[in-house]
Each structure stands twice: as C-alpha cells, then as structure tokens.
Amino acid sequence: MSFKSISPEIQRHIPIIGDISNKSDLAYLTTRLATQTVNMVQMGVAEAYINGLEVPDDVLRSLFDTCMPVFFKHFPSLLAPYEWVLQETEQMAEGSKELMRLQYDLPQHMLNHMLGNGNLIYPKYSMGLWEKGADNLEQSQVDMIDDIIEKLDIQDGDNILDFGCGWGCVANYILSKFPNVRFTGLNLSHEQCDYMRQKMQDPKSYLSSGRFILIEGDLNDTQFEEKFDKIMSIGVFCHIGNLTQSFKKLASFLKLNGKFFLHIITVRTPNNISSAYTHKYIFPHGRYWSFDTVPRHNQDLKTIQRWYLNGTNYSQTFAAWLKNFDESYNEIEDLDYGIEFARFRRIWRFYLIWFVANFASCDGEINGNGQFLMVHTER
C-alpha cells in the first residue's frame, strides 16, 4: 500500500511520509529528528569516501540509485536537512561570499576543463538539453540556449539582463545570433568576471562587440537606473533564499510587461530539498525549490507559462562533466584548491557521481529543471 492512499488528515499525524508542511506538531518534530539521522548517515558515508575509503564508482552509483527513488517518492521530507530549506529566509541571495570561495571562484582552469570551453560556447554551468538528439556536451548547450531563445521570445534589439551570467556563455551565443541585442551580465564571481573581461578585449568574442556590459556584484546590493526588456536567470536560484524579495527586486529592473525567464533545478516533491553534504562542501546554503512553490511567490512577476525539463538531461550533463573532470587531472592537479588535490578530487567526484544518479532517478520525473516565464504586470 502506498502512503498516498492514506487520507491527508491521517497522514498529518504520521511522521516522515508525505508533505511535511501539513504535519501535527509531534509528527513534525519526529520527522525533523529522523532527518537529522539521515544527515548523519549521509555525512558518515560521504566523509568516509572523501577521507579515502575505496569504493568503486559502480558501487557508489548503485547506492544512490537504490536510495534516491525511495526518498524522492516516499520520504521527501527527509531530504530537507535544515529548517531553512523549507521556507523563505531573510536574505535574497544566501551566503554569497562563502559560496564564491567554495565554488565559483575555484581555480578556473579546473572549472573550464570540466564544463567545456569552446570558441562560441564558453563554460556553461547549467543543464544541457540532450533530448533533441545532441551527441556531445557543446551541442546540448547550444540546444538548451536555442530553447531559451524561443521560450523567452528574444527579439533583435532587446536589452537583456542575465542575472548570474557565469562565464558569459549565453550572452556570447545570443549576441552572435542577434546583431542588435544588448546584454548586461551580473555576476558576483571575481574569477568568472575576469574571464569575461578578457573576452571583452578579444575581437573574436561577441562580448567585445560593445553590446555587452559586465557588472561584478551581488544581487543583494545591485541597482540599475535603466529598465530591461527581458531578464534571464539560469541555474542561480538554488542560491536564492527569498523568492518573494528577489522577484520584487528583479521586477523593479523590468519595463512594464517585460519578461523574466527563470531556469532552475527543481523537484516535483511537496517540499524543497537540499543536502548536508552539498551545504558543507559544494553549494553553501543551496536549496532546490519545489516546482509548485515558485509561482506561489510571484506577486510582482506573474508566471504565465512553466515547463518541467526531465532530469535525465541534467544527469547526462553531469556525466559529461564527470568525464571531463576525470580526464583533466594532469592539467589541474597542481592548482591551488586550499586543500590537497586528492581530497578535493574525492569531494568533487562524490558530488558529480551523486548528481548523475539524482537526476536520473525516477526516470527524471521528480528531480529535474524548471523553467518559468513571468511577466511584470501592474499590481
């Protein structure tokens, strides 16, 4: 018998199963205690691995393949390791400085190798679209950006803001297709901004066309005088703790009837999820918003369309990144990670292998990517 056949009123009193936002006080507390046990077990396994326990990839992968569908389908509340994962928090962008240190300002040579660094497709740290037949990472990213161009209905002449623009990959590609589009890229990562500053001096790059403006800064502190026709944000909102405030701020950057295209990792579970492991080692304060939660928070931006992209697309992307990472050791092992490379390599392999499995579990139907097209209307 699946717990779904139990009435919500009875489920309310049973810990662990189903929707944690609808629990009696006792069931809620018991669920949170159970979650702490899951956190401890997860960290125990992860830290044994990163401290040198020899576990073949296949064994690690089958551990994830076995556990994750059970959590996703039956016990999603156990995937919310901290209270803050379940609700909006005070800050718009969460723990930005720590996030840059631990993740985005890592040696760029390593990230560029892993993500791919082509002439037109610069490193892109978000899902590629494989379901249209791409047979390599670069093509999957081209297909993904083409999909965004279509859904956001980009027109030549648009003035676009890319919040969390990474290495300028999407901007470079779109500028190459539309001779009159203008882009502003906002990014807090100093190292990624340095990459773009170099491209802005390189005549072969569309970032040097005079149609690209770079702002190195944090969404929390940024203001713009001008209003944009369109805003996009791809793969960034897992670092956002307060959707309501962030949507309000982004709406204030948009012309009336301007559009915002949000592309995020999402879960089709009742609650948001995260993990103690990624919080400590990979994405501090990162959380994956539930697909149905996002539109509930847009008072200033109205969601007019949304799409769920199957997680197998992201599983394939992570598999390509893992392969690139593994094949680049000779190039990257001497870089400064602040810890010895052997340990860094294990921390990252645990993350990459886990995410390959996560997005493939439940045939990609629960953990995937969400796209939300929103419009700035008068209240």
Q: Which residues bind ligand SAM (CB under 6 A)?
A: 93, 96, 99, 104, 124-126, 164-166, 169, 186-189, 192, 218-219, 234-236, 239
Residues 242/245/247/253 CA torsion (nearest 10 deg): -140
Q: Cβ closer to ligand SAM: 291 or 314?
A: 314
User: Tokens standing for 62?
Assistant: 């089958």
Quote the least distance from Cβ 175 to ligand SAM, whole Å: 15
Q: Cβ closer to ligand SAM: 97 or 343?
A: 97
Q: Cβ closer to ligand SAM: 16 or 262?
A: 262
Quote the least distance from Cβ 84 to ligand SAM, whole Å: 16
Q: Cβ closer to ligand SAM: 187 or 269?
A: 187
Integer CA distances (angstroms), 90 to 24, 81, 245, 290, 292, in order = 25, 18, 9, 19, 21
- Is residue 235 within 8 A of residue 164, CB to CB? The reply is yes
C-alpha–C-alpha distance, residues 82 and 132, integer Å: 37
Give the residue from 356, 313, 293, 318 showing the smallest Cα distance to 147.
313
Q: Cβ closer to ligand SAM: 283 or 350?
A: 283
User: Tokens standing for 200?
Assistant: 């802005």
Nearest-5° angle of CA 368, CA 245, CA 282?
A: 45
Quote the least distance from Cβ 252 to ligand SAM, whole Å: 16
Place of tokens 């389908």: 73
Q: Cβ closer to ligand SAM: 99 or 142?
A: 99
User: Tokens standing for 211?
Assistant: 């149609």
Quote the least distance from Cβ 297 to ligand SAM, whole Å: 18
Q: Which ranges of 18-156 would DSSP assign to H, the alpha helix?
A: 25-50, 57-74, 83-86, 96-99, 108-115, 137-152
Q: Cβ closer to ligand SAM: 189 or 242?
A: 189
Quote the least distance from Cβ 114 to ligand SAM, whole Å: 12
Quote the least distance from Cβ 234 to ligand SAM, whole Å: 4
Cα-only R_g, the chain: 21
- Dihedrals phi, psi of 341, to nearest 5 degrees: -60, -35
Which H/E stretch holds residue 193? helix 190-199
Quote the least distance from Cβ 376 to ligand SAM, whole Å: 20
Give me the DSSP letters along 214-243.
Answer: EEES-GGG---SS-EEEEEEES-GGGBS-H
C-alpha–C-alpha distance, residues 237 and 126, integer Å: 12
Quote the least distance from Cβ 225 to ligand SAM, whole Å: 18
- Is residue 294 within 8 A of residue 370, CB to CB? The reply is yes
Q: Cβ closer to ligand SAM: 18 or 164?
A: 164
